[in-house]
Structure 1
């Protein structure tokens, strides 16, 4: 296990500050306390609570519901309205389960270096692909698209691998403190999982050049008009970040897609072979290739993809029109 230790990234967990105790933060602290109590429940109970929580979110978040419905209708135009609606409801149940999974991520036994319960939840497939690449001294970009169980994927991978997840810093200082602290893991007092801000490009490059592993989320809408590519995703151009190609080109890192499926109360984490001839020198073509891989997995596991994200930058008119089809 020590051979896989991540020694190239220094932890950057924000420090607790006294102003976090200000009354304006009390509702958040109360919510965290309630979540901590729920974390004591057995895993199966947490998952069962997740489905009704998702059903509640379906009604409490009408804008997100319409956006998810529009995305589903856009991605599966040949489906009936009934099938669209069934997927929409299943997605919100999966979304609720994903929220309950955070209790395991934040307070699971692995935090106390007792990971027996977490190991019992997962079956790995082809994890040796990553271990072999790292043993050869090669950096690896682990591509993990946005599914509702993405935090559990991160948890399971750290059972076997030391890596650096890329994340977007939160605007609220207390949320930034809590989230970053929750994503940082130590083993034997040494850094094991150490988050990197999406803006820290030099840190990512240095990490990969030294043979590190990067947990990279590649599939969200990219807003920078000068750097983005409009790569087709489910038949429609989507503003996309070509950074995967650039990171691989500058570091020689392998690009390995990692997909997770939640089946009842068990998880299957599958590593695909490294994407061959990548990067090709054509950022748009590279991103299109990756999108085809994501689409294939989403078609096999549609309810667990994160449909509430505005992947295509749809207009309000498009959202209203498309959501009416689901």
Structure 2
């Protein structure tokens, strides 16, 4: 077994603290990765604090991982020692169901998440990227272009693919009018990606202070969603709207903006349900409200290659691991533009955390 160290929490009410644990030795199909950077996703907070009711402890969060290959199994193909690679939200799936066969591993009923999931190999729990190293099956390891800044590329493994996948699935392209609701970790990536796909991009926000930044990031227009008159000017004009907001809110003001056959796609998961939409807004223009998860491994690699081609990364604030608890509190106040990324070089080689070793 390989000794690893990182930061973990042991219950829903304790802070993240140093933690020592073990990774499996690389098997024939495995890649051992030294973790360089790990993005901090809002879902990390939900999981750490058991806000979704499915948390397993001790928990080492993190599923936006960038690192270097340090060792490989004998059956690994297409990777070399020293390669820059990424690991996203998944580290395993059944490989045989219809979803896996369609390269949609994210929908596999037995998909294994990068952390806070039963580990079918070790029999314990999976531990994520707030740590020194990780061992992952080659199928779930992604190539990351040297054209991309590795720290700023880390959030592409979740925020990037979460917004790219629905834009790609609904075939957003040149000539489309696309709305992005919310300018946070997801929304700012949605603006960048939709603009690079050739769409006319409109950012919806409740905050006038975000207008200038939205334009800087690539939005052609910004609309304050609280301004009824400004919203009415856009009725029946959108092909697609990507809603990234994770708080419960009325969806009718956005479905009314869609053309016939337009789609409002939700990627934020609120802790309380959205109010029921007005069905007439859907029926009389054949509109739809849809949802989207992350992406499969094939699509995630396509997203990384697209970002390398168009020089797209996340806007990040790099922090040492020792500041992670403060970062969580700042995230809850929306005090970050737009994603925290942990520099794992700040993680001491000796965590002095033997009391935590399980």
Q: TM-score, normalised by structure 1?
A: 0.34
The structure that is strand-richer by fraction is: 2
